[in-house]
Each structure stands twice: as C-alpha cells, then as structure tokens.
Amino acid sequence: MAPAETEKSITLPPTHFVLVPLMGQGHTTPMADLACLIAGRGVRVSLVTTPVNAARLRGLADRARSAMLPLEIVELPFPPAHDGLPRGSSDNSDSVLQLFLSLYRLAGPLEAYVRSLPWRPSCIISDSCNPWTVGVARSLGVPRLTFTGPSCFYSLCDFNVAKHGLLHRGDDHTCVVPGMPVRVDLSKDTWAAAFLTCIPAWGKFVEEVREGIRMADGAVVNTFLGLEEQFVACYEAALGKPVWAPGPFFLNSRNEEARTVNQSAVTAWLDKMDQSTVVYVSFGSLAQMLPKQLYEIGHGLEDSGKPFLWVVKESETVLPEAKEWLQALETRTARHGLVVHGWAPQVAILSHRAVGGFMTHCGWNSLLESVAQGVPVVTWPHFGDQFLNERLAVDVLGVGVPVRPFDAEKAVDPVVRGHIARAVSELMGDGAVAEERRRKCKEYRERAHGAMAKGGSSHENLTLLLHSFMRSGRKE
Ligand code: UDP
C-alpha cells in the first residue's frame, strides 16, 4: 500500500466529488450548477476546467466564496489554441470534433491534480463527451459517473439504437427507435443527424462516448422525474446501473442569479410589455444562422405581428449587408421587437412574466429552462440530440409546436418565413390547443419547482447520489 493511502485511512478523508465538464457553454453551465447543488449540501466539490473557461466561471467562484460553499474551481493547464468551444461555431463540425479530441490531452493534468490531493476523491462525474476520463478514473481507482448532457429520452434512444445495431439506417422508410416506452419515429435524414452517423469523421469519437457511458458506475441526468420518469426508469434498466435525476440543476443556482439581472436593458424592455405576449427567439451558444436564415427568421417574426425578443450572434452579422438588413428590421419593428446582439440572460428572460413563448433549437438546457419556467416552445432542431428533444417536447410532453410540420416519410424542408410566422402565431394564439400547451407547461413548472424543493424527487435523488459515495466515519 502506498504511504499516502495509509495516511488517508487514518485521517478519514472527506467526501469529495470531482466534476469534469466538457469545455463549452451548453455543457459547462449545467455541471457548474450541479457543483453548486452538491456544495450546497456541504459536500466538497472541485470543478475542473481550463483557464479560459475558469474566467467564465469567475462569477460562480465568487458566489461560492461569499456563501462559504466548499466548492473550488481547479484550472488544468491546456494548450490555448483550443481552450473552450468558440460561440457560434457548430457549422464547422470539424473544428468542434478537433476541440473534443484535443481535450484528451487533459487526461495527464487531471490525473496529476487528483494524485496531488491529500485523499482520493469519492467520485469523478465527467461529461459523457469526455470519454478520456475512463482511463484516468481506472488508473486512479476512483468510481466514475457519467453526466449525460441531453434529455434522458435522447440518451435512452441512443442507447437502444446502438444496442440493436441500427445506427446506420439504409432504407427510405420511417425509422422507429426500438425499445422505447412510446413510439418514436424519425425520417431517414433526421435519424442520421440525430445519431451523428451523417458525419463519418465523428464515428470513432461517438463510439468512445457510448462505451464510456456503458462502462460508467452510473449516470447523472439533468432532468426530473415529473418530466421524464418513464425514460429514467427504462434508462436505468437498460444500463443496469443507477441513474440519478436531480434536475433541473439551474433552478437552485441560476434562478437566483436571474433575480439579480433586473437592471439590464433587456429586462427593462420586457417590463414594458404585457403579460405572456413576447416570443423569445434564441438558438443556444453554438448554432450559427446563415444570412439567408436570418432574413427568413426576421421576416417571419415581423409577419407574425407578435412582440419578439431575438438574440442574434455577432458572428451572424459580419457581412455588411446582413448588418444593414438587421438595422432596417430593428427600425421597422422598434415598437414591438428587440434584437439582442450577442449574449442574453436567458434564464432571467424565460422567468420574466412578459415572455409567453420561446423559439429554440432544442438544446437540452434551453428546452429544460423553458419548460421549468412554464414557457411553451417552437421547436427548430439543428443537430444531434436536438431532433429527439423536439419529439419529446412535441409528442410526449405536449409543450411544443414544430417550426415545420413533421413528416417522417419526407426529407426535412428548409425553414422559411411562412413556417416561422405560422408556428409563432400558433404558439402565441388563443385557441384551445394553445391554451392546453400553456396549461401543461405551467404544470411542468410546478413539478420542476416541487422536485427541487426539500422532499421533492430531485432533492431526494441528490441525497441518494451523495449517500452512495459518502465516506463513513465522518459527518459532512
Ligand atoms: N444561453 C444564454 N444566453 C444566450 C444563449 C444561450 O444564457 O444568449 C445559455 C442557455 O440559457 C443555456 C445554454 O446557454 O443554458 C445553451 O445550452 P443548450 O443546451 O440549450 O444549447 P447549446 O448551446 O449547447 O447548443
């Protein structure tokens, strides 16, 4: 036995979780929220990251310090060329893959960090897109849980499709996902995009991700039983490992932050609008709209006649003609529209009483944030899990309007202004169907808040997760 280990057993080390997020907004944010939840229970947690991402987490670090939470941000050295996912870069899937692969170089620094600790951590929770942590955890002899970023619905679909050897569908017909408790069918093209077989270069990486999930000691999913109970149960049975659902993580951390964003120009504008009248339009941190898509969105919103708050990335208006066109639209729609250039405080926006709908790319964080705030959605998926998150929102939860009608038999049409105007009008309309969508959303909001409150299912799930790794002989 190594000398350090002898010492550990004598000093009764604390329970300590090491969280390894994927470097990128949509992945780091929920892990940071989870770190806050764990630390909020008085359990020591380290969130490892790279220097650029650490700068983005400074606010969290400050809040943790002032609340005296046992949370530390650990900066691992990392080559600066790929330090963090650039915002607005997903069209270049090659560079995203290169970033994911370059993160494998964090294996050495992570192992060195853990070995430098005076005790062995109780558990590593790593993003499923960091399959390189499998080897690190094994070499350290530390249990590893996988954090699956998408919905549990997606994770279960992906698991089943891979298990049945159906990743590559060659037929022209509707493809049905096997082993699901509800019927899930996708068109052939959507299938390839959802399970990432449309980009052969991703094949080996995606297989490693699946293997990393299969080999983990369990999974943590950012969801709650009141939303995805049947899929959590099926996923647990499929994996044969525990699956914890202690979400929505953001409700106990960033919701608080949202209350402090009350001075911004965005919320000042929203304050002037009537209750539930504004449609919020944003496509996450990565999806990049081409100028022709911007024009269709802008004209569609204008044609809908509904008040809107639209987030446009700086990188989407680099062309002078796109910038000019957008300025003209802003002038024409100044009475009822607001364009935010760059980054918007999404959680604060979704929790504002004026917001009555959200047009989203169906990134899981965005969809969960919306549902947990009681805001129904127009769904416009672009890539990967987003296609199945759309099916969950529309077919299973009944809280979404697809931007273009779904037809599993057909190839996907490009979205044009008519689609946008129709979907927004439908979402924000007064009919019985729209009312029912709103009612369901409000119910999910109640359930989400109930789940996170003491005694709720998510609160209990976190307790169970922590207890599974709690070190005996010491009070946390
Ligand atoms: N987000 C934000 N402001 C923006 C755009 C995105 O706060 O202007 C946040 C959003 O609240 C969510 C995350 O960034 O937490 C995006 O994650 P998601 O899974 O929805 O999509 P991704 O960016 O991974 O495609």
Selecting from 3.30.390.30, 1.10.260.40, 3.40.50.2000, 3.60.40.10, what CATH number does the domain 14-252+453-466 have?
3.40.50.2000
| Mean pLDDT of the 327-335 span | 97
Q: Write down the ipTM of this complex.
A: 0.99
- Quick check: helix, strand or coil at residue 395? helix
Q: Which single residue is written with the structure tokens 């998510």?
A: 458
**pLDDT digit string (tens) for 81-129?**
544 444 444 445 777 888 889 999 999 999 999 999 999 999 999 999 9
Distances (CA, A) of 459 to 392, 449, 450, 451: 24, 10, 9, 6
Strands 278-281, 355-360: parallel, antiparallel or unpaired by DSSP? parallel
Q: Decide whether any atom of ligand 1 lies within 6 Å of the 255 Cβ.
A: no
Q: Decide whether any atom of ligand 1 lies within 6 Å of the 366 Cβ.
A: yes
Res 91: pLDDT: 45
Backbone angles phi, psi at 38, to 5 degrees: -65, -45
- Tell me the CA–centroid distance for residue 423 and ligand 1, in Å: 21
Residue nearest to atom 11 of ligand 1 (CA): 346
State the chain's mean pLDDT as an integer. Answer: 90
Q: Please say if the pLDDT value at position 376 is more than 70.
A: yes
Q: Work out the pLDDT band at 475, boundaries 50, 70, 90.
A: very low
- Tell me the CA–centroid distance for residue 1 and ligand 1, in Å: 46
Res 170: pLDDT: 60
| Mean pLDDT of the 259-282 span | 86
**pLDDT digit string (tens) for 158-174?**
999 999 998 987 665 67
Query: Which residues, in sequence order, are CB contacts of 361 under 8 Å at separation 6+?
Result: 283, 284, 287, 380, 381, 382, 386
346 in the Ramachandran plot: left (φ > 0), alpha (ψ -120 to 50) or beta?
alpha
- Tell me the CA–centroid distance for residue 310 and ligand 1, in Å: 14
Res 331: pLDDT: 97
Sign of CA pseudo-dihedral 381, 383, 385, 387: positive
Helix (H) or strand (E) holding 148: strand 144-148
Following DSSP, what letter does each residue of 413-435 receive, concatenated?
Answer: PPP-HHHHHHHHHHHH--SHHHH
Q: Decide whether any atom of ligand 1 lies within 6 Å of the 134 Cβ.
A: no
| Mean pLDDT of the 453-472 span | 94
C-alpha to C-alpha distance for 34 and 39, rounded to whole angstroms: 9
Q: Decide whether any atom of ligand 1 lies within 6 Å of the 365 Cβ.
A: yes
**pLDDT digit string (tens) for 28-76?**
999 999 999 999 999 999 999 988 888 888 888 888 899 999 999 999 9
Q: Decide whether any atom of ligand 1 lies within 6 Å of the 381 Cβ.
A: no
- Tell me the CA–centroid distance for residue 365 and ligand 1, in Å: 6
Residue nearest to atom 24 of ligand 1 (CA): 26
C-alpha to C-alpha distance for 126 and 323, rounded to whole angstroms: 40
Domain ranges of the chain: 14-252+453-466, 261-448
- Testing ligand 1's pocket by substitution, the residue of 23, 25, 264 carrying the most ligand atoms inside 8 A of its CB is 25
Beta bridge partners of 124: 18, 144
Question: Six-digit token pair at 432?
Answer: 């019985």
Res 83: pLDDT: 47
C-alpha to C-alpha distance for 280 and 270, rounded to whole angstroms: 10
Strands (E), 156-252: 175-176, 185-186, 219-221, 243-244
Q: Decide whether any atom of ligand 1 lies within 6 Å of the 285 Cβ.
A: yes
Res 286: pLDDT: 85
* Four-point Cα dihedral 46, 52, 53, 55, nearest 10: 80
| Mean pLDDT of the 183-187 span | 91
Res 420: pLDDT: 97
C-alpha to C-alpha distance for 215 and 114, rounded to whole angstroms: 20
- Tell me the CA–centroid distance for residue 24 and ligand 1, in Å: 10
Q: Decide whether any atom of ligand 1 lies within 6 Å of the 311 Cβ.
A: yes
Question: Which of 181, 132, 146 lies closest to 160 in space, CA to CA?
Answer: 181
Q: Please say if the pLDDT value at position 448 is more than 60.
A: yes
- Testing ligand 1's pocket by substitution, the residue of 359, 365, 385 carrying the most ligand atoms inside 8 A of its CB is 365
| Mean pLDDT of the 424-443 span | 97
| Mean pLDDT of the 10-26 span | 85
Q: Decide whether any atom of ligand 1 lies within 6 Å of the 286 Cβ.
A: yes
- Superfamily name with CATH number, domain 261-448: Glycogen Phosphorylase B; (3.40.50.2000)
| Mean pLDDT of the 219-248 span | 98
Cβ–Cβ under 8 Å, residues 401 and 377: yes
